[in-house]
């Protein structure tokens, strides 16, 4: 049996009370992620630290609601780095962030294709 690594299904069920809404929540999350990532990268290029901070905070909350725990944890670390320094502190975190986004998206697509939550 497949054990998700990037989405905590049990935590999602515990928080929401059911898995019946998982597919819809995953669909919305998958729609939001690419635009969020593009906006974050643009804000970093523009050195807009306020927008970067807002975007990281927004996706941290969204990831927590989706129980995308590794992504949420990485965003918490990025938020701390930003609070403790400048945007330059985030550059080393961008590649792992992109990998986590890719892996999270892939896992959600797989879980949705299994159609075990509807």
The answer as to whether 3 is a domain residue is no
Q: Identify the pLDDT of residue 84.
A: 81
The answer as to whether 2 is a domain residue is no
Residues 37, 82: Cα–Cα separation, whole Å: 17
Cα 93 to Cα 83, 86, 100, distances in angstroms: 14, 13, 11
The answer as to whether 88 is a domain residue is yes
Structurally, the chain folds into a number of domains equal to: 1
Residues 47, 8: Cα–Cα separation, whole Å: 33
CATH number of the domain where residue 83 is located: 1.20.120
The answer as to whether 39 is a domain residue is yes
The answer as to whether 96 is a domain residue is yes
Distance of CA 40 to the CA centre of its chain: 12
Cβ–Cβ contacts within 10 Å for residue 111, how many?
19
Q: Identify the pLDDT of residue 91.
A: 86
Query: Residue 102 in contact with residue 37, Cβ under 8 Å?
Result: no
Q: Identify the pLDDT of residue 29.
A: 96
Residues 48, 50: Cα–Cα separation, whole Å: 6
Q: Identify the pLDDT of residue 69.
A: 97
Over the chain (118 residues), what is each successive 10-residue block's mean pLDDT?
A: 89 93 95 96 93 96 96 96 84 93 96 76
The answer as to whether 4 is a domain residue is no
* Domain housing 42: 9-111
The answer as to whether 90 is a domain residue is yes
The answer as to whether 85 is a domain residue is yes
Q: Identify the pLDDT of residue 88.
A: 83
């Amino acid at each position: 049996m497949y054990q998700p690594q990037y989405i905590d299904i049990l935590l999602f069920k515990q928080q929401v009370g059911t898995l019946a809404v998982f597919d819809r929540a995953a669909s919305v999350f998958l729609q939001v992620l690419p635009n969020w990532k593009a906006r974050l990268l643009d804000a970093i290029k523009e050195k807009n630290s306020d927008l970067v901070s807002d975007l990281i905070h927004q996706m941290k909350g969204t990831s927590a609601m989706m129980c995308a725990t590794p992504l949420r944890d990485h965003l918490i670390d990025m938020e701390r780095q930003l609070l403790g320094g400048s945007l330059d502190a985030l550059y080393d975190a961008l590649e792992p962030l992109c990998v986590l986004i890719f892996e999270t998206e892939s896992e959600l697509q797989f879980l949705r294709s299994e159609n075990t939550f509807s």
